[in-house]
Chains A and B, each alone.
Chain A
Amino acid sequence: MYKKANAGHVGCSLSCLEMTVFVKFDLMKAEDELILSKGHAAALLYSVWAEDNIISEKELETFYQNGTHLSAHPPVNKIKGIPFATGSLGHGLSIAAGLGLAGKLKKNDKKIFCITSDGELNEGSTWEAALFISHHNLKNVVWLVDRNYLQGFGRTEDTMKLDPLDKKLESFGFQVEAADGHDFNSLKGAVARFRDERPLAIICNTIKGRDLALQDTVDCHYLPLTDAEYQKLINQ
């Protein structure tokens, strides 16, 4: 999709690829919701939804084209299972908080999974949502942080230091678990350790643009794949 569209955002999709697949196919029941707060990884979301036959292969071909529903960030009210358009960072955890509150009021078993980037933790609204989720003990919300240590114009620790992130999230009242965000067993283990006492936040340690020549650089956030790189990935 990215190669055909000659589009960027490849690296940030690769960093949360396994997390998204894990949530969709290992954790989610039919009624559950996944909020991809880092909407710039939309192509990944569309691909995973296509694997679940929510989006057709034919529609995937329209990604980035004029007249598509599959814009570079998730669209408004167009795709089943994508309840909200995301793309402006810092909204997703509040969306999850509201859905979690609704579930609590309705007394249902619906779970809300929210994947945020680490760079978007610069947004104050994310921390407003974290306070709310913790205060109301919304254990039906599971927060996964794609911790790739890179953001839009530099490394997270050079821009606005987030570490010790686990301590920050713990102090906000979450049960915090760490996982290798590219390893399904590690992710499974983090979820298995959930004690059902406090809302769960999983810091998923990842590599932006994993396996690309430009992995772990800001470049892989923006630059489209070269022909050689694309061929190399296809051959792997």
Chain B
Amino acid sequence: MRKEFAEAIINLSKTNDKIIFLTGDLGFMALEGVKEYLGERFINAGVAEQNMVTMAASLAYEGFLPFVYSISPFVTLRPYEQLRNDVCLHNLPVKVVANGGGYGYGIMGGTHHNIEDIGSMRILPNMKVFVPFTKKDVHAGLQEMANDPSPNYLRLNLASTQDLTVFSQWRKIKAAEGNVQAVIIGTGTVVDNLFKLPDSLLGGLEIWLLSKFPVYDIPSELSETIHYTKNVITLEEHQGQCGLHETLASLLLKQLKTPIQYHTLFASGYPSGKYGSQQWHQEENSLAGKNLENKIIEFISNPHAR
């Protein structure tokens, strides 16, 4: 999504001279065009993310629209207090752009992964989290972020190739063929792995995508399907707390009138202590491939499975 992101920033900058782009010394083979287009409004703030984030708050206070960019953990967890105090408490429109949330940096290892980003960002005051799914989502999401007077976080990853046209918080991206065996609610590009399941399994699944946080409501159509199937599976490339499934569970507790089976698929970290590609980590955590397939079969055939 980095290429689409760079294109989108340049497009936005054509009509918005308030945009300032700050990078924490990253963007090789991706942001050169942004640098060239923005000129003095492109700042390499150095490997100094705490200073970069606070400066972005000051620039926003002065009426600019600053974007701060780095690898996900470096632009979220490293300057977390700067984000909370200087950006979010003051409700300033600083746009945090993170490359590679989840296991996106694969073999680079645990320091470069961020399976805590959605949770840590969504609980900050005034912060909205954007988790695009497709390349088109990047353009639409970025436009929405530019129009939002509050802080935002954008998680970039390898885009899905599914053809979705409209970017919105909730999207039903696949209907079941015949009876619905389970409703899968996912966030982020990990959801794309569902479309690689065998047709016999995929056919019974209704799939919903959540692409923005915080979330306060469940669409009535989804709510009805949940009541009907009573079998929900959540899917996220994020740790088990504070991400999709916890926020969804609290909503369901408020809205549901009947008990349902609630299964969760999430990133549990590094169960084997070994490292590999993003795909490898997803498979190890049952978020992709045969392990994902087996888990879903188990959840459908034995509703009480954990």
Contact = CB atoms under 8 A, between A and B. Distances in A.
A79 to B, nearest CB: 13
A129 interface: yes
A128 B55 CA distance: 11
Contacts of A99: 58, 61-62
B86 to A, nearest CB: 6
B43 A101 contact: yes
B59 A98 contact: yes
B59 A128 contact: no
B230 to A, nearest CB: 45
Given A132-B48, A132-B51, A91 B85 contact: yes
Interface string A31-44: 00000000000000
A101 B46 contact: no
Nearest to B64: A102
Interface string B75-108: 0000001100110011100000000000000000
B210 interface: no
Contacts of B86: 84, 91, 94-95
A94 B90 contact: no
Given A85-B89, A124-B50, A125-B54, A132 B59 contact: no
B40 A101 contact: no
Interface centre among B58, B85, B89 (most CB of A within 10 A): B58
Contact of B62 (A76, A91, A106, A128): A106
A98 B57 contact: yes
Given A94-B51, A94-B54, A124-B50, A83 B85 contact: no
A90 B54 CA distance: 10
A131 interface: yes
B59 A101 contact: yes
B90 A98 contact: no
B51 A102 contact: no
A3 to B, nearest CB: 29
A84 B61 contact: yes
A128 B48 contact: yes
Interface string B44-69: 01101011001111110111100000
A145 interface: no
Contact of B57 (A84, A88, A103): A84
A83 B59 CA distance: 12
Contacts of A94: 50-51, 54-55, 58, 82, 86
B124 to A, nearest CB: 14
A77 to B, nearest CB: 6
A125 B54 CA distance: 10
A84 B86 CA distance: 7
B41 interface: yes
Nearest to B91: A77
B20 interface: yes
B25 to A, nearest CB: 12
A101 B55 contact: yes
A108 to B, nearest CB: 10
Contacts of A234: none
A125 B45 contact: no
B41 A105 contact: yes
A102 B57 contact: no
B305 to A, nearest CB: 46
A97 interface: yes
B46 A128 contact: yes
B61 A83 contact: yes
Given A95-B54, A95-B86, 16 more contacts: A77-B90, A83-B58, A84-B58, A84-B90, A88-B81, A91-B86, A95-B55, A95-B58, A98-B61, A99-B61, A101-B55, A101-B59, A102-B61, A125-B48, A125-B50, A125-B82
Closest 4 pairs between A and B when the two form their complex, measured CB to CB = A98-B58, A98-B55, A94-B54, A128-B51
Interface of B: 20, 40-41, 43, 45-46, 48, 50-51, 54-59, 61-64, 81-82, 85-86, 89-91
29 contacts: A76-B89, A84-B61, A85-B85, A85-B89, A90-B50, A91-B54, A91-B82, A91-B86, A94-B51, A94-B82, A96-B58, A97-B54, A97-B58, A98-B54, A98-B59, A98-B62, A99-B58, A101-B59, A102-B58, A105-B40, A105-B41, A106-B62, A124-B50, A125-B82, A129-B51, A129-B55, A131-B51, A132-B46, A135-B46
